[in-house]
Amino acid sequence: MIVALAVLAITDLVVGVSNDAVNFLNSAIGSKAISFRTIMIVASVGIAFGAISSSGMMEVARKGIFNPEQFVFSEIMIIFMAVMITDILLLDFFNTLGMPTSTTVSIVFELLGAAVAISLVKIFNLGGGFQELSQFINTEKATQIILGILLSVVVAFSVGALVQFISRILISFKFQEKPKWVGAVFGGFAITAIIYFILVKGLKSAAILSGSATEWIAQHQELFLVGNFVVWTLISWLVTALFKVSIYKIIIVLGTFALAMAFAGNDLVNFIGVPLAALESFNSWSVSGELAENFTMEGLTSAVRTPTYLLLASGVIMVVTLWFSSKAKAVVKTSVDLSRQDEGDERFSPNFLSRQIVKYSIRASENLAGIVPVSISKKIDAQFEKPYVYVPKSKAQDLPAFDLVRASVNLMVASVLISVATSMKLPLSTTYVTFMVAMGTSLADRAWGPESAVYRVAGVLNVIGGWFFTALSAFVAAAIIAYIIHLGGFAAIVVLLLLAFLLIGKNYISHNKKVKETKLEEKLQKAESNSIIGVMEESSANISMAIRRANKIYTQTIDGLAKHDVDRLKKSKRGIQKLNNEVEGLRDNIFYFIKNLDDSSVGTSNFYITVLSYLQDMTQSLEYISKASFKHVNNNHKKLRFNQIKDLKETDGFIEQFFGDIEVLFGQKEFPGLTQLITDNQNLFEKVGQKIQKQVERTRSDESSPKNTALYFSLLLETKDLLVATMNLLEIYNEYAEE
């Protein structure tokens, strides 16, 4: 079990860092203040420094989640094993989803769940009742953690929004044009907050400062903060005036280092604390000479210092994970996407609650606007004005998600809140604080506009819901696993470990496969040209790709219907949904496309809009064909008759040929061949009409299934609509090509 716990500790470090990386990478990556490589180096140094300077105290054993003296060695080991198995599975699950959660909350509720399960076993074996559970469990601590979740969410979001609003009014989006003293004062505030954070939170257990210095700071906090503010304000002014270095970039680098160091220094115990507590328990028991069932764990109530080599090894694992974990990047991406300044592809779908929140927030904003004088309102709006600059899509990925001011505020506010909470011994979660500060600053910065608010709010609600799910699932899963180990003993441990690593391996393989597919998958590209010829050439690649995918989806649907294969139909349904979303994305970009046009090329917009309209007609017809076929098979209706399948296969054959010719023509941009292609395929409408007439005759003579008949007619009629939209697309291209 000790060996297994050591392996689980390494695994937990990997999955834990993958999730908590969002805490310190979000602002630096989102603002692109410095290169990604530099960000990773700064974060790595912070992690290494934090891990080495960590005290390594057995916090999880001393916090009083359960009372160790009430358990014997064999029971403690079951609790610890259940906790670690649950933790790696739970954190890996969240990492795979790309959702940030709290490693502190997960470990606490896993300890609570496993301890409750074993406590109840002991109580019932001795003939006791539920009322005796308080002897084993400290319910007050769990209550504090739950209140900490709520406190983290509300306080961090509110303070982040308020500070960002004030900062933006004073600095605006044109912060580069402000006098140097403005940036110097802001730098003084921000760096003072981060330095205080490093001393209070990051190095609270390290022997960097002498005891007298630490005591003096604790007794003269106000003087210490004011002195720091003055010093750092002067340094900030000198740096910007003499060396022409942006003070905001310095704040971001320092803040990233501070949060990375604090994460490693204080959250390290979440990953290796339980295995180290198990090792200490084993050492105590092995020298006692008693049976595992008789040796009580009173020694666990005292503090145990972790060997430095273990801290160093842990730091190395964390740094390596940070550099190579694709799941860490996925978790960071979720946070950055929800807080980005500009609109774009939204990951989360709106729900009832997000719609209601946005609806009533708009009403509240309108009512508040009626109270604020118009002159003040105009001045405030002026500070939030952002000049529109069109950037080609090829360079869009290089743009920051938000500016340096917001990134600096994120780090400053998170540092202050975590420092204050630590000094007041409040159970705030680092993950919750950093995430909710980022969401609050996004709201205050008007990043959640009418176009994106309902999606962003839905995303935040999903993440917050996941946090509460963490607590509940951690408690229940750890309790169940602890009980299984209690019943099955060694065999149960082996099976659970194999199952855990199989699940993690499966998730790893599927995640890597998804990442590779995402990199390789083809997507329709937004037009960037401002001339009719340029748009025709750019759109031709889109049409070639769309036709190829439409051809595949149509064939896949007919095959799935012929074979009554619901999986194949489900796949075609997903394929057309994705294509439909991409076409809608192109339509959503029309505003920016028209904005980019020269005055002499405005007529180009008519062509582009018409092309997108016909593409959407095609995808809608395919969507109906796919959904109707899936519904028929999924509801276990009768299979189509042989003659119906034969006719559909023939229809698929000539459509496949037609679409294949279109794909080649548009892929090679051979627009002069359009006229011949249109002429050669005019008879396709007649062919579909003949199939419809044949079914009419069959229905009058020997057809016995109303469902089959309705489906067959629907498929052919929608196929006809699909051909009409395709022909219209070819004709509009042919018309402009001849001009």
Q: Which residues contact 68 (CB under 8 A, 6 or more apart)?
A: 61, 76, 297, 298, 300, 301
Give the separation between CA 693 and CA 697, rounded to whole angstroms.
6
Give the separation between CA 202 and CA 196, rounded to whole angstroms.
9
Count other C-beta atoms under 10 Å from residue 639's C-beta.
16
pLDDT tier at 527, thresholds 50, 70, 90: low
3-state secondary structure at position 523: coil
Q: Residue 735's closest CA among 602, 607, 590, 616? A: 607
Chain segment 332-390, per-residue pLDDT in tens = 777 787 777 776 667 778 888 888 888 888 888 878 777 888 888 888 888 888 765 55
DSSP lists the bridge partners of residue 66 as 137
Instruction: Output the pLDDT for position 159.
Output: 92
Give the separation between CA 100 and CA 334, rounded to whole angstroms.
8
Amino acid making up residue 382: A
Q: CA-CA-CA-CA torsion for 157, 161, 164, 169, nearest 10 degrees? A: 180
Give the separation between CA 325 and CA 321, rounded to whole angstroms.
5
DSSP 347-402: SSPP-HHHHHHHHHHHHHHHHHHHHS-HHHHHHHHHHT--------HHHHTTS-SS
Give the separation between CA 15 and CA 103, rounded to whole angstroms.
10
Q: What are phi and psi of 137, to 5 degrees?
A: -120, 140
Q: What are phi and psi of 533, to 5 degrees?
A: -65, -45
- Among 147-156, 383-392, 693-702, 705-714, whose mean pLDDT is lowest? 383-392
Helices (H), 287-351: 308-324, 326-339
pLDDT tier at 623, thresholds 50, 70, 90: very high
Residue found under tokens 């028929």:
632
Element holding 518 (H helix, E strand): helix 453-520
Percent of the chain, pLDDT > 90?
13
Count other C-beta atoms under 10 Å from residue 240's C-beta.
20
Radius of gyration, CA atoms only, the chain: 31
Instruction: Output the pLDDT for position 269.
Output: 67
615: exposed, middle or buried (Cβ count in 10 Å: 0-12, 13-18, 19+): buried
Q: Which of 365-379, 449-463, 546-560 has the highest mean pLDDT?
A: 546-560
- Among 467-476, 501-510, 599-608, 714-723, whose mean pLDDT is lowest? 599-608
Helix axis angle, 352-371 to 453-520, nearest 10°: 130
Q: Residue 175's closest CA among 87, 272, 246? A: 246
Q: Residue 75's closest CA among 38, 122, 135, 137? A: 122
Q: Is the pLDDT of residue 595 over 90?
A: no
Q: CA-CA-CA-CA torsion for 376, 382, 384, 386, nearest 10 degrees? A: 170
Burial 47-80 (b: 16+ CB within 10 A, else e): bbbbbbbbbbbbbbbbbebbbbebbbbbbbbbbb
Helices (H), 525-673: 532-563, 566-588, 590-596, 604-634, 642-667
3-state secondary structure at position 95: helix
Do the Cβ atoms of 7 and 86 come closer than 8 Å? no
Q: CA geometry: angle at 40 spanning 36 and 45, to 5°? A: 150
Count other C-beta atoms under 10 Å from residue 154's C-beta.
11
Chain segment 23-44, per-residue pLDDT in tens = 778 888 888 888 888 988 998 8
Question: Average pLDDT, stretch 699-724?
Answer: 84
User: Residues 56, 62, 67, 68: is their CA dihedral positive or negative?
Assistant: positive
Instruction: Output the pLDDT for position 303.
Output: 58
Do the Cβ atoms of 730 and 676 come closer than 8 Å? no
Do the Cβ atoms of 242 and 236 come closer than 8 Å? no
Count other C-beta atoms under 10 Å from residue 548's C-beta.
18
Instruction: Output the pLDDT for position 57.
Output: 44
What pTM value is reported for the model? Answer: 0.74
Give the separation between CA 554 and CA 576, rounded to whole angstroms.
9
Structure tokens at 486: 């209690």
Q: Residue 105's closest CA among 347, 431, 426? A: 431
Instruction: Output the pLDDT for position 485.
Output: 92
Instruction: Output the pLDDT for position 557.
Output: 93
Instruction: Output the pLDDT for position 199.
Output: 74
User: Residues 725, 727, 728, 732: is their CA dihedral positive or negative?
Assistant: positive
Q: Is the pLDDT of residue 480 over 90?
A: yes
pLDDT tier at 232, thresholds 50, 70, 90: very high
Instruction: Output the pLDDT for position 394.
Output: 47
pLDDT tier at 298, thresholds 50, 70, 90: low
Instruction: Output the pLDDT for position 56.
Output: 46
The whole-chain average pLDDT of the chain stands at 81
Q: What distance separates the 2 farthest-apart alpha carbons in the chain?
A: 101
Instruction: Output the pLDDT for position 230.
Output: 93
DSSP lists the bridge partners of residue 296 as 72
Q: CA geometry: angle at 82 spanning 78 and 85, to 5°? A: 140
Q: What are phi and psi of 296, to 5 degrees?
A: -80, 155
Instruction: Output the pLDDT for position 558.
Output: 92
Q: CA geometry: angle at 593 spanning 588 and 597, to 5°? A: 160
Instruction: Output the pLDDT for position 346.
Output: 72
Do the Cβ atoms of 251 and 408 come closer than 8 Å? yes
Q: Residue 586's closest CA among 626, 545, 633? A: 545
Question: Average pLDDT, stretch 196-201?
Answer: 72
Chain segment 267-279, per-residue pLDDT in tens = 676 677 788 778 8
425: exposed, middle or buried (Cβ count in 10 Å: 0-12, 13-18, 19+): exposed
